[in-house]
């Protein structure tokens, strides 16, 4: 359904002074993955690893620097604007913060109806009917259509965002941290809603989250991102049973153990330091500055994503080592 090949998104940043060199943020720096139809790929990684930029670039809300994105067999980059517009109807996004992404001056009904107006679809009565339909689909009541975003709870606001994303009957949705701003109890409700909608409507999802606990609830496959690159990708069960990249192992070790799904994978590892700046990413393996088992080779030679087990890809020169002792 979706195929992303060597995607790069570089942002030029303002020079510090007249003689300073022009700098570039390597937000996404060669990310590759694919998502089969009706499947959900989880994209996980620390804040700043390039997850949101990847999602925005897929929908062309940001222009990629290079790389190829194909959707349903068609390359998105070289379409004329009309073809792309038709394609874009099939791809939608739900953002993390349902407050800033909903216009406070529009009613919930207007917000959900807006995409139908933009694409000039249906008569007035048909649009009304469609909005009522998606309202009930996401568990909102038709009489709530006339309320404004601030009159809803956080969870309900996220239901409005989901309704807006669904109104054009898309096939693919990027969910960018859709529950990260919500209380844990509400998170479960929204995750259940998304899983149910995915199954009922046969949706393909790119589900972005920094939280492996959230990822464990909804994804078929998981891609782990570090400093703009995918460092490990595997079916969810394989990844949770045996994470092979030292960074993925460290991510698991940071998850509270009360989640029984994660128990097997959890070991105690302390990563040193913060994620380095994407302006000058480290040479060789980008993780070498924090990796507890880094060797000389890791500083000079960049590891490529290679298959270590069936469908289990890892970019590391020494995959699968138990790093809990070294850390």
Ligand X SMILES: Nc1ncnc2c1ncn2[C@@H]1O[C@H](COP(=O)(O)OP(=O)(O)O)[C@@H](O)[C@H]1O
Q: What is the binding site for ligand X (CB under 6 A)?
A: 11, 13, 25, 27, 45, 47-53, 278
* Beta carbons of 305 and 244 less than 8 angstroms apart: no
Helix pair 108-118, 124-137: axis angle to 10 deg: 130
Dist CA 282 CA 286 (whole Å): 5
The entry of ligand SF4, ligand X, Mg ion, none that residue 25 binds, CB within 5 to 8 Å by partner kind: ligand X
The residue nearest Mg ion at its CB is 52
The beta-strand segments (E) located in 14-145 are: 23-35, 40-44, 66-71, 74-75, 91-94
Under rule CB under 6 A, residue 226 binds ligand SF4: no
Stretch that binds ligand SF4, among 30-38, 137-145, 154-162, 285-293 (CB under 6 A): 285-293
**Interface residue with ligand SF4, options 303, 305, 308, 312 (CB under 6 A):** 303
The entry of ligand X, Mg ion, ligand SF4, none that residue 246 binds, CB within 5 to 8 Å by partner kind: ligand SF4
Dist CA 63 CA 57 (whole Å): 6
Smallest distance, Å, CB 65 to ligand X? 12
Smallest distance, Å, CB 9 to ligand X? 8
Dist CA 183 CA 179 (whole Å): 8
Smallest distance, Å, CB 294 to ligand SF4? 4
Dist CA 166 CA 173 (whole Å): 9
Dist CA 257 CA 229 (whole Å): 27
Judging by beta carbons within 10 Å of its beta carbon (0-12, 13-18, 19+), is residue 287 exposed, middle or buried? Answer: buried
In the complex with Mg ion, which residue's Cβ is closer, 45 or 109? 45
The entry of ligand SF4, Mg ion, ligand X, none that residue 27 binds, CB within 5 to 8 Å by partner kind: ligand X
Residues that bind ligand SF4 (CB under 6 A): 246, 285, 287-288, 291, 293-294, 298, 303, 316-318
């Amino acid at each position: 359904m979706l195929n992303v090949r060597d995607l790069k998104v570089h942002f030029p940043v303002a020079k510090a002074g007249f003689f300073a060199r022009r700098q570039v943020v390597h937000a996404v720096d060669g990310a590759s993955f694919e998502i089969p139809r009706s499947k959900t790929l989880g994209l996980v990684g620390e804040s700043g690893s390039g997850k949101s930029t990847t999602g925005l670039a897929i929908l062309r809300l940001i222009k990629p620097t290079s790389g190829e994105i194909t959707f349903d067999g068609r390359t998105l980059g070289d379409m004329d604007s009309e073809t792309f517009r038709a394609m874009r109807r099939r791809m939608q996004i739900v953002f993390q913060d349902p407050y800033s992404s909903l216009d406070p001056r529009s009613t919930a009904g207007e917000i959900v109806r807006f995409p139908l107006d933009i694409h000039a679809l249906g008569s007035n009565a048909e649009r009304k009917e469609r909005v009522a339909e998606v309202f009930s689909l996401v568990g909102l009541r038709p009489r709530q259509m006339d309320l404004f975003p601030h009159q809803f709870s956080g969870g309900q606001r996220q239901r409005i965002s989901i309704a807006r994303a669904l109104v054009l009957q898309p096939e693919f949705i990027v969910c960018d941290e859709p529950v990260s701003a919500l209380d844990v109890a509400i998170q479960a409700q929204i995750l259940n809603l998304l899983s149910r909608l995915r199954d009922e409507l046969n949706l393909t999802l790119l589900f972005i989250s920094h939280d492996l606990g959230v990822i464990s609830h909804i994804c078929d496959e998981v891609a782990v991102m570090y400093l703009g690159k995918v460092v490990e990708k595997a079916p969810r069960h394989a990844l949770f049973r045996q994470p092979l990249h030292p960074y993925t192992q460290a991510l698991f070790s940071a998850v509270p153990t009360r989640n029984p799904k994660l128990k097997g994978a959890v070991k105690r590892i302390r990563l040193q330091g913060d994620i380095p700046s994407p302006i000058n990413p480290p040479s060789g393996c980008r993780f070498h500055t924090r990796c507890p088992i880094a060797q000389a080779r890791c500083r000079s030679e960049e590891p490529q994503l290679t298959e270590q087990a069936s469908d289990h890809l890892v970019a590391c020169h020494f995959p699968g080592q138990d790093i809990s002792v070294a850390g």
